[in-house]
């Protein structure tokens, strides 16, 4: 095990999560902000990453050359957008480094490309990097297994800030998948993601999703198991983005010693 701080690249450094990651890494002894990346043409290129994140200068100017940063680094923390994440997955595989993917809204085709990159990179991907949500996933799987589809309906409710561009959230899908696993069914074949107009009665055994957007809400998720005369509600509230950033750094440090492959936060947290 290396005693040196892990050299981490933050891509999407000027974003909400990018800035949180820079502050979080800066406060951790075992890791350093080695480089910070934004897209070509971004007004933030050349600015000091610490200043962007409200820390004051840390001597790391934002670059638009990701490969140059990756080949000299040990890991990349990526909370950007699906198209960018696919590009970074290829570059992280080329550089044989750790790629922590927090980006949500990836398509099945995107996920295949990330899986292919994981033949060479150590990839940790999760729709939510927090300990609390991953524990909630385990609890959801257990509850869904115990409360069967004949008598209990499962709905996943989420709310996020008005800038969020994908729905349902990555976390809602993580929780839906956990419920589906508990029931021994495929989420893709049993989910109801939108309801509008004369929908007819609820199809038995389905897992429903409801999405709310507004204001500055960081992330609210509930799994409701609704039976005759009673409802069990399992929920998580995020009040600070540092929970995701701390999880991402933990994932990078964990993956530092691992073989190439595609891992989840359940692997990192020992909840699998
Ligand atoms: N898994 C988890 O625990 C969490 C996941 N997320 C996910 O992380 C993602 C980002 O969220 P958030 O920080 O709120 O979003 P932001 O829009 O605030 O930040 C995204 C950043 O990525 C940059 N970016 C996009 N494309 C590229 C590129 N090709 N090269 C370099 N930089 C690029 C954007 O730049 P520009 O503005 O120029 O496009 C922006 O600065 C979302 O998918 C979100 O759902 C968020 C929180 C937790
Ligand atoms: O976009 C966000 O902000 C968040 N995205 C993740 C998601 O899609 O679940 C995680 C967190 O809830 C915040």
Q: With bands split at pLDDT 50, 70 and 90, how would you rate the model's confidence at 2?
A: low
pLDDT for res 88: 98
Q: In this predicted model, what pLDDT tens digit does every residue of 109-119 receive, in sequence order?
A: 999 999 999 99
The answer to whether residues 84 and 77 touch, using CB atoms and an 8 Å cutoff, is no
Q: Give the C-alpha separation, 56 to 246, whole Å.
A: 20
The 75-78 sheet, strands edge to edge: 62-63, 31-37, 6-11, 75-78, 98-101, 122-125, 261-263
Q: Counting ligands in written order, which one lies closest to the CA of residue 249?
A: 1
List the alpha helices (DSSP H) in 9-162: 16-26, 49-52, 66-71, 82-95, 108-117, 131-146
pLDDT for res 48: 98
Q: What mean pLDDT value characterizes the chain? A: 98
Provide the ipTM.
0.99
pLDDT for res 3: 83
pTM (2 d.p.): 0.98
Protein residues with CB under 6 Å of any ligand 2 atom: 104, 127-128, 160, 164, 169-171, 219, 238
Ligand 2: which atom is nearest the Cα of residue 219?
12
- To the query of whether residue 160 is one of the catalytic residues in this protein, the response is yes
- Residue (of 46, 82, 60) closest to 10 by Cα position: 60
Residue with the nearest Cα to atom 10 of ligand 2?
128
Residue with the nearest Cα to atom 25 of ligand 1?
80
């Amino acid at each position: 095990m290396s005693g040196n701080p892990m050299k981490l690249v933050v891509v999407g450094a000027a974003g909400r999560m990018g800035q949180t990651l820079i502050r979080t890494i800066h406060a951790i002894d075992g890791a350093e902000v080695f480089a910070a990346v934004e897209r070509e043409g971004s007004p933030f290129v050349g600015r000091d990453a610490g200043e962007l994140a409200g820390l004051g200068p840390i001597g790391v100017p934002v670059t638009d050359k990701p490969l140059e940063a990756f080949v000299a680094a040990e890991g990349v923390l990526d909370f950007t957008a699906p198209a960018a994440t696919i590009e970074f997955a290829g570059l992280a595989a080329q550089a044989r480094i750790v790629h922590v993917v927090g980006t949500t809204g990836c398509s099945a085709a995107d996920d295949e490309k990330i899986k292919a990159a994981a033949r060479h990179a150590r990839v940790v991907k999760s729709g939510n990097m927090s300990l609390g949500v991953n524990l909630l996933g385990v609890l959801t799987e257990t509850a869904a297994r115990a409360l069967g589809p004949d008598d209990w309906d499962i709905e996943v409710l989420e709310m996020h800030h008005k800038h969020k561009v994908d729905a349902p959230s990555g976390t809602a899908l993580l929780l839906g998948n956990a419920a589906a696993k508990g029931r021994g069914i495929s989420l893709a074949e049993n989910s109801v993601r939108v309801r509008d107009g004369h929908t007819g009665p609820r199809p038995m055994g389905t897992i429903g999703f409801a999405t709310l957007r507004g204001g500055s809400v960081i992330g609210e998720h509930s799994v409701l198991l609704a039976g005759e005369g009673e409802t069990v509600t399992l929920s998580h509230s995020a009040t600070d983005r540092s929970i995701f950033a701390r999880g991402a750094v933990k994932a990078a440090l964990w993956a530092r010693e691992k073989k190439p492959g595609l891992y989840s936060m359940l692997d990192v947290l020992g909840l699998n």
